[in-house]
Amino acid sequence: MVKLTFCLRRRPGMSFEEFSAYWGDVHAPLVAERAPLLGIRRYVQVRTADIPALHDALRRRNGGSPEPFDGIAELWFDDVESFTASRDPAAQAASRELLEDEQRFIDLAASPMWLGDERVIV
């Protein structure tokens, strides 16, 4: 299994509450519906806890690191080939639809993503 990790920052002008509600109530069902077409085996949303003082302390601990992300999306695939394979027209359409929806609530240029292997330690 490989995992796509997508660190999300909300669009400028959108509150965290608006972002979180849209991500959970609108976008999540779209992903779930399209998961079989796209080879997604698991999809998890991790929202940043609303504890500003703690986040400020963590940033100071790290010498002034950037603001935390608003959340992280984790998507699992069988292997790299499943993720990168040429897809049929229905899967390509599903992928475009998800990207169009992401543009409604994610600042894509400020939201890095990468594909990797998990190494569970504990």
Residue 9 within any structural domain of the chain:
yes
Residue 15 within any structural domain of the chain:
yes
Residue 12 within any structural domain of the chain:
yes
Give average pLDDT by consecutive 10-residue segment, the chain, 122 residues. Answer: 96 97 98 95 94 85 89 96 83 95 98 94 94
Residue 121 within any structural domain of the chain:
no
The pLDDT of residue 114: 96
The pLDDT of residue 60: 87
In the chain, the number of structural domains is 1
Pairing of strands 2-8, 113-116: antiparallel
Are 45 and 99 in contact, with CB atoms under 8 Å apart? no
Distance CA 46, CA 105 (A): 16
Which DSSP category does 107 fall into? Answer: -
The pLDDT of residue 24: 98
Cβ atoms within 10 Å, residue 83: 17
Which CATH number belongs to the domain containing residue 28 in this structure? 3.30.70.100
- Domain with 81, as residue range(s), is 2-116
Cβ atoms within 10 Å, residue 120: 4
Provide the terminal-to-terminal Cα distance of the chain, rounded to the nearest Å.
Answer: 18
Residue 122 within any structural domain of the chain:
no
Q: Which pair of tokens denotes residue 38? A: 């796209």
